[in-house]
Structure 1
């Protein structure tokens, strides 16, 4: 079987990239038509999509199972809040500072964390999240356990916040498409599937893992800034909660880690299908989410999206494979002399 070349793989990304651009423009222009409630719900969904796609690139494509999304959410949210509260800088500077702060944290943590593998990497990132939450709870300049209140007159809200969330989610989708259809993504997948073999072929394992960690951390930091704008009041128990890490894992795994549209399906299933529908029954919601995760891992480890795709393709495949009446008749005529 002939292996597809890199240009052939890259050419397949043209129509998904065009579709993403068209959807981004359409979603961006939709802001004036949405009510305040719809805008708020859309911002939440888009934020979850961003962190789920960021985790998907880091774990699904590069094999780094992380529980540290909360650390970068907190870094982005608090960087934004500290800039707005303690300086006179405008919100765009604070927003960009969130991404830069999260990226710098990723670079700082890369030295110890990227030496870890498998479960040790997951535990290490979880420890970082817990440590940052504890640090923020005892940092008086950041408001301590009470947190910070952003100046409402200097932050985007309503349609503007929705449009920012659209752009951040589009960046996360674009990064996923790039990793899925680029030579870099092929090397990253090689590192994920067989690290010693990839290293033997000249692929720098550390550099590729670092190249996946930094941009995904920056995107998660931008998502933290969006949450800070949305909540107005941020605290260690909110923006730094480990629940952000768990939700990122759950949505990506349920939808289908290592796929482009899996996290999109995962966000719809987990948040809109369960969390929001059972918002008045938090305990039941958590139980169902746990059972769903176990069921997906046990019976559909590739996630719901690949399962849905196979279910859609199966009838089409059977229809193409089924013999037509003309074919059946000609076969019968052909076989008659042989059996006569």
Structure 2
């Protein structure tokens, strides 16, 4: 046999041997469904690519902003406490302490639209409709003196808005100027000589929680009862007074103080507390609903109080879990505390602030 034929035969044999490895299926994952891809493919590009059809103006946006955003960002987008300021900061970027807002710093309007629709409002992300997002963004632009109040922001007029700091950033060209000096091209196929093996799965490693396991109750421990021992002429022990457990759990309240950070944007407790977007919560436990002096409650909350609703621990826990489901029409925009432990902890914390 000629050397050429031998070489050809060997190459053919190697190709056949490698075929199963190249076509190897590991049994991990599946092909994404079109609707799943569409759900994730919601990013908006600076040139407007990806914008949904819709519209809104600052007049509409002001009302929506007041309901869903003002608790943290203020009625005029000026920010409350340490929550981000969305307006102002003009001509401050060259200062030692610049005020970076949508109007003064952000180069692309698309970033604001994408972020608002994807991540806001706080605690209830992803609930804004397209028109609501356009309207809220229009109000933010109006608060920065970038549009008039009657300007209709839409997918068609989006690029008509000029962002003041559009040219204030330097293009990152490191991929062209630096990477080649220290980076080699990564291997993208047939990178391992031996077939890949799945040695462990995330669920087995306890990386992925298993709901089934969490739902299984712990095995009951059988109590061991010792046989009574007969003692001669036992002297009766003096009766020990029964210790009654305290009704207040200081350790749980300490955990609740951390959970309450989610509430501090709207509510205050303790000495010197004032009504804000939400009422004072001092003494709220076992108090009649809708009775904090000086706070303007929603009609459903007023009616609930008139009907005799008392904020018992159970009632508070149910309300904190899903405020909007518990009381239709409530002004409370917070989505709720999903964890029962968080609910109990924050209620215990509130118990420490009696009237």
Q: TM-score range by the shorter chain?
A: under 0.3
Higher relative contact order (CA 8 A, sep 6+): 1
Q: Which structure shows the higher helix fraction?
A: 1
